[in-house]
């Protein structure tokens, strides 16, 4: 079994941002910390830490830190520790969930001291981090659980194709819509984002000819409002703009649903169980078609 004092040294170096500060926290000298890190690396046969300022864990180091957090959580649940240190929950999420419904689900009762380390990943790729053991839970579009993991359906984020009135005017979308929409610029979140492609395929049997890459949920909304392009946005994110007429639904009745899933480890600590119940409850209020 691995020596957890070595993992604690690694955790302290990353948390505190340096070997010296880690030593202060663990009541060890800087060189004792350094020896523990080296010992850990010799056990693993690979580096766990980039010696930058501040030091950054390697992928292998991050997996160890994640494992350490899970162990700490289970110890807390069993009453084995009264370590007052906050538990760190590393959670991968798609950007649009974080920009809309997710934050409300992260507020837990105060007796649960928890720190969230949120990681934004495209919904189609967030699962990779889960597979690598890099995160403790993941919200993404894949219904397939990873090895040792389980999955729970959350419901769907519903997207609608919208543009600003000025944009509709500029590209004269009131007439010859099919032809003109496929020539008008659209916004695309990143290279993995296919929503605009699906929409144009549906309404005009076309692919986007002109697009801007805008990898920010809020930036995407702001750029649509400014008239930089049209795009598919979550209904949840733009209700007030649709009501006020700042944004116009280009194809009323058309929507694209992205089903979302909560991926978690089967060895679920009580804290992660409670978080999952919270997430399920909030998702039930905001997402479409969840039960």
Binding site for a second copy (CB under 8 A): 54, 86, 95, 98-100, 102-104, 106-107, 110, 113, 115-120, 170, 185, 191, 210-219, 221-223, 225-228, 237
Question: With respect to a second copy, which residue has the nearer C-beta, 85 or 288?
Answer: 85
Question: With respect to a second copy, which residue has the nearer C-beta, 103 or 148?
Answer: 103
Tokens describing residue 151? 């999955």
Least Å distance, CB 3 to a second copy, is 27
248: β partners: 163
Q: How would DSSP label each residue in 170-213?
A: HTTTTSSHHHHHTTS-EEESSTT--HHHHHHHHHHS---SSEEE
Alpha carbons within 13 A on the beta-carbon side of 116: 18
User: For 45, which DSSP code?
Assistant: T
Least Å distance, CB 253 to a second copy, is 27
Asked whether the beta carbons of 172 and 145 are under 8 A apart, the reply is no
Least Å distance, CB 224 to a second copy, is 8
Question: With respect to a second copy, which residue has the nearer C-beta, 35 or 158?
Answer: 158
Question: With respect to a second copy, which residue has the nearer C-beta, 116 or 254?
Answer: 116
Least Å distance, CB 38 to a second copy, is 24
C-alpha span between 230 and 66 (Å, rounded): 40
User: For 230, which DSSP code?
Assistant: B
Least Å distance, CB 226 to a second copy, is 4
Asked whether the beta carbons of 190 and 182 are under 8 A apart, the reply is no
Q: What is the dihedral of CA 202, 204, 205, 206, to 10 degrees?
A: -110
Question: With respect to a second copy, which residue has the nearer C-beta, 102 or 271?
Answer: 102
Question: With respect to a second copy, which residue has the nearer C-beta, 145 or 227?
Answer: 227
Question: With respect to a second copy, which residue has the nearer C-beta, 43 or 213?
Answer: 213
Q: How would DSSP label each residue in 57-78?
A: E-HHHHHHHHHHHHHHHHHHHT
Least Å distance, CB 262 to a second copy, is 17
C-alpha span between 74 and 155 (Å, rounded): 29
Least Å distance, CB 76 to a second copy, is 16
Tokens describing residue 106? 């992260």
């Amino acid at each position: 079994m691995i020596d957890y004092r070595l993992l604690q040294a690694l955790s302290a170096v990353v948390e505190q941002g340096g070997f010296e500060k880690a030593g202060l926290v663990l009541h060890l000298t800087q060189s004792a910390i350094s020896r523990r890190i080296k010992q850990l690396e010799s056990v693993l046969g690979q580096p766990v830490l980039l010696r930058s300022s501040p030091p950054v864990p390697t992928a292998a180091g991050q997996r160890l830190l994640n494992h350490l957090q899970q162990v700490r959580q289970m110890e807390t649940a069993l009453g084995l520790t009264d370590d007052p240190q906050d538990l760190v929950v590393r959670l991968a999420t798609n950007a649009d969930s974080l920009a809309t419904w997710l934050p409300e689900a992260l507020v837990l009762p105060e007796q649960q001291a928890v720190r969230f380390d949120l990681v934004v990943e495209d919904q189609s790729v967030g699962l990779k981090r889960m597979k690598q053991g890099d995160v403790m839970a993941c919200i993404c579009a894949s219904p397939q659980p990873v090895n040792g993991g389980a999955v729970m359906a959350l419901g769907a984020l519903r997207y609608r194709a919208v543009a600003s009135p000025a944009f509709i005017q500029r590209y004269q979308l009131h007439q010859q819509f099919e032809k003109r929409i496929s020539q008008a610029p659209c916004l695309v979140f990143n290279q993995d984002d296919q929503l605009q492609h699906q929409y144009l395929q549906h309404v005009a049997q076309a692919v986007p000819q002109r697009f801007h890459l805008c990898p920010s949920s809020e930036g995407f909304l702001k750029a649509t409002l400014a008239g930089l392009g049209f795009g598919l946005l979550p209904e949840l994110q733009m209700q007030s703009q649709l009501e006020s007429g700042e944004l116009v639904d280009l194809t009323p009745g058309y929507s694209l649903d992205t089903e979302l899933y909560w991926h978690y480890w089967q060895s679920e600590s009580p804290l992660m169980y409670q978080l999952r119940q919270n997430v399920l409850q909030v998702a039930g209020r905001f997402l479409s078609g969840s039960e």
